[in-house]
């Protein structure tokens, strides 16, 4: 029993880092916009009476979008730390990370349109 407690206690610090990272994202303007859109589309899903499968797809899509937004922000911060001035390679890295968010958002939009059409 003591070994289980030591395992859990040792992992608590890792969870603190996870929650700190999640909390940090809520102060990012782009994440606030994405979170607001999540709430708005979620409200519309409630009024359209999404099924359990619809909610699961919705949650997966928004999870993907918010995750890529988080990764994009971390890449941008690291790139800015590595090179504070303009650099073509850094610009490409940042654009690629932003493109990942774009792909995730496009996927979420297509899914949402499909769900709307299904319920109309």
Q: Is residue 41 part of a domain?
A: yes
Show the domain range for 84.
28-119
How many structural domains is the chain composed of?
A: 1
Q: Is residue 77 part of a domain?
A: yes
Say which CATH number the domain at 79 has.
1.10.287.3610
**C-alpha to C-alpha distance for 46 and 2, rounded to whole angstroms:** 45
Q: Is residue 23 part of a domain?
A: no
Per-chain mean pLDDT for the chain: 91
| Residue 103 DSSP SS3 | helix
* pLDDT tens digits for range 67-99: 999 999 999 999 999 998 999 999 999 999 999
Q: Is residue 8 part of a domain?
A: no
Is the pTM value of this prediction over 0.95? no
**C-alpha to C-alpha distance for 120 and 112, rounded to whole angstroms:** 12
Q: Is residue 56 part of a domain?
A: yes
Look at residue 18 in the predicted model and tell me its pLDDT.
87
Q: Is residue 13 part of a domain?
A: no
Q: Judge contact between 64 and 107, C-beta under 8 A.
A: yes
pLDDT of 118 over the 80 cut: yes
């Amino acid at each position: 029993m003591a070994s289980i407690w030591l395992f859990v206690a040792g992992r608590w610090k890792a969870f603190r880092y996870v929650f700190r990272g999640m909390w940090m994202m809520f102060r990012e303007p782009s994440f606030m916009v994405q979170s607001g859109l999540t709430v708005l589309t979620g409200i519309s899903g409630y009024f359209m009476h999404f099924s359990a499968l619809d909610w699961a797809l919705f949650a997966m899509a928004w999870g993907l979008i918010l995750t890529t937004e988080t990764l994009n922000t971390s890449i941008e911060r690291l790139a800015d730390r590595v090179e504070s001035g303009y650099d073509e390679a850094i610009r490409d890295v940042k654009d690629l990370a932003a493109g990942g968010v774009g792909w995730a958002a496009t996927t979420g939009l297509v899914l949402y349109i499909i769900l709307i059409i299904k319920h109309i």
